[in-house]
Amino acid sequence: QITLKESGPTLVKPTQTLTLTCTFSGFSLSSSGAGVGWVRQPPGKALEWLALIYWNDEKRYSPSLRTRLTITKDTAKNQVVLTMTNMDPVDTATYYCAHRLYGWGIRGDSFDVWGQGTRVTVSS
Amino acid sequence: QSALTQPPSVSGSPGQSVTISCTGSSNDVGDSNRVSWYQQPPATAPKLIIFDVINRPSGVPDRFSGSKSGNTASLTISGLQAEDEGVYYCSSNTGSRTLVFGGGTMLTVL
């Protein structure tokens, strides 16, 4: 059974750096095809994809946030870390990490298992 | 990259069918068969219901089906049930292997 759980601060001040950790179980991020992504959702608004890291350490970032985001993995600890710099009140959202669906013949990047999400508020 | 375009809301009566559209461009939806659909009930994490345009993960009823024509993907839900209510999102890979979501469509079962 695959599970993921996000952890990190619930409140950050403007201009600070946010660090979120996704701790997962039930799969290995060293398995060919595996990946973990981050998606956020401001209150009452749509999902927004942030970043994705693959088993081979390839990384993809949202073009609009690329300069502020860094995604890394620790395969031994079964963790993926997302950092976002220069936080602003508009970054207030629920942040989700999710497991990338992979297997023979699967072509796209979709997320079949999600964490419960962690709410982050940006305020002074 | 711009968000994919979805209608804000759709509705239907139990037993009926509804279709939700997702319009992008030749750089995303039209680029390849890498479109997914998610269902999000209130205050819950999204659930994957369609991947690679037409495929259902195990456990998703065959009432849910996906298709694509050109730059527009569609999700059809047949035999509507009250439990289908929620917000539906499409997503697509882009030509540069990034991802983009749609703005979401609220489904109301009348």
Give the gap in angstroms from C-alpha A15 to the nearest C-alpha of chain B: 25
Mean pLDDT value across residues B12-33: 95
Give chain A's residues under pLDDT 70.
none
Q: Which residues of A touch B52 (CB under 8 A)?
A: 106-108, 110
Residue whose token pair is 């497991």 = A99
**Distance in angstroms (rounded) separating the CA atoms of residues B6 and B89:** 8
> Do B45 and A117 make contact, defined as CB atoms within 8 angstroms?
yes
In tens, the pLDDT along B74-98 reads: 999 999 999 999 999 999 999 888 9
Q: B18 falls in which pLDDT band (50, 70, 90)?
A: very high
- Report which secondary-structure segment, H or E, holds A5: strand A3-7
pLDDT value, residue B59: 95
Q: B1 falls in which pLDDT band (50, 70, 90)?
A: confident
In tens, the pLDDT along A69-84 reads: 999 999 999 999 999 9
For chain B, percent of residues with pLDDT exceeding 70: 100
